[in-house]
Amino acid sequence: MRMSVPSIAIVGSGPSGCYMAQTLRKAWPEAPITLFERLPVPYGLARYGVAPDHPGTKAITHQFARLFERENIRFCGNLEIGRDITLPALREHFDVVVLTLGLAGDTPLGIPGDTLPGILGAGRLTRLLNDHPEECESPPILGERVAIIGNGNVAIDLIRLLAKREDEFSGSDLSPQSLEWLRAQQVRQIEVIGRSPAAQAKCDTVMLRELSKLSGARFSLAPGAELGIAQQPAEQARLDALRELLEREQPAEGINVRLHFGKVPRQVLGQNSVERLRIAPSSGGEEQELMLDSLITAIGFNEHALQPLHRDSLYGDADLSCGRLDHGLYCAGWLRRGPRGTIPENRADARLVADAIIAAVNNDQLPLGKPGELALPAHALDYRAWQRIDRHEQQQAGSQRSRQKLRSRAAMLAVAHQQ
């Protein structure tokens, strides 16, 4: 006899995974659905990838919490699929498995010298400032002169975080340790290098206008740079925001932020670490060198090298247009379509893949009947353990912070096991 609903495992509890669970729960109110997460805590990108001074964006986690508290979605944390439990074992016990692992690796520059010490990715830096337990043990040293490669929203986030004064972090979840790290860097100069002309920069206008509120940053165009002419209304809005930023009354002192548009990096130079960056016009032309102490790449994300599950090694009867990797195995979010889009766009992507899963089940294309249960290692954590961590972090927050995150896996586990 055919079972009426599928058993579902979702690997990754970030926004894509939570939106997937939300959509599939609406389709099948009685289906057993489990979200697996390698960290002891849920929410992935929303917790560790959104800038710590954007609490409004992080507030989406309140919506996700209702999945576990009211919608009978099971959370299984501190358990990595591919290491603690194999993917074949998971597929043996669930009718449908959806991978929503995201992309945690920073895309390398791919130019000579791009492996020198002193180069770090924007993803790593954002996780560090969000107290990710795998980044806090060995924080980098930036020095006074920093270059950021890229002019999308991630690059704008980094400019803002590096240039903000201490009192401007009120209401954020930036920890005292991360604030102390920022202070210790003593950044004086930030060079921002973007391939696109100013009008076509990949950042949102609202993000540019937020930079205008910084009291400790002085913005200027690089010598010879021009804002250019807009061709579309969105481009005009971007140029207006840039002019507002450049023409505002600049503070008497602060971090100097110099904007390079239409430029690409050609070579990183240095003996034992980053010392200089050679850049050139995107269309070709004379090169110039910038003196640096560190370089941050903000040009995109890819699959992390240490991740045990890699999408392209899982292809069977694949159709990525609907997220299918094989019969009963799907992927969604950035893992499906690449590192593009915001958290709301991940919701649309989850719906697209969920619709394909629902159609496959309704059209009898997937056999049902697997139990949706399997033996878990003793170190696995449930949602109640996360709630203990959550309460602890909020209780430890000072008057100017929304929470103070636990910064190591050991500290998380100690609180999780308190009774």
Binding residues for FAD: 16, 37, 45, 81, 334, 341-343
Q: How far apart are the first and last CA of the chain?
A: 44
Nearest Cα neighbor of 392 from 358, 370, 418 is 418
Q: Which residue has the tokens 């290098």?
A: 193
Distance (Å, rounded) from C-alpha 392 to C-alpha 377? 25
Q: Are 110 and 265 in contact (CB under 8 A)?
A: no
Q: List strands edge to edge, sheet with 255-260.
A: 119-121, 294-297, 145-149, 189-193, 255-260, 217-221
Annotated binding site: 16, 37, 45, 81, 151-154, 334, 341-343
Q: Position of tokens 């270059």?
A: 147
- Here the tokens at position 282 are 């995107």
Is residue 72 within 8 A of residue 178, CB to CB? The reply is: no
CA 312 to chain CA centroid, Å, is 21
Give 35's Cβ-side CA count (13 Å radius): 33
Dmax (CA) of the chain: 77
Q: What is the DSSP string of 112-147?
A: TTTTSTTEEEHHHHHHHHTT-TTTSSS-----SEEE
- Known binding residues for NADP(+) are 151-154, 341
Closest CA to 397 of 175, 230, 199, 124: 175
Separation CA 16–CA 9 (nearest Å): 13
Q: Please count the other Cβ atoms lying within 10 Å of the Cβ belonging to residue 283.
A: 7
| 301 and 286 Cβ atoms separated by less than 8 Å | no
Alpha carbons 201 and 265: distance in angstroms, whole number: 16
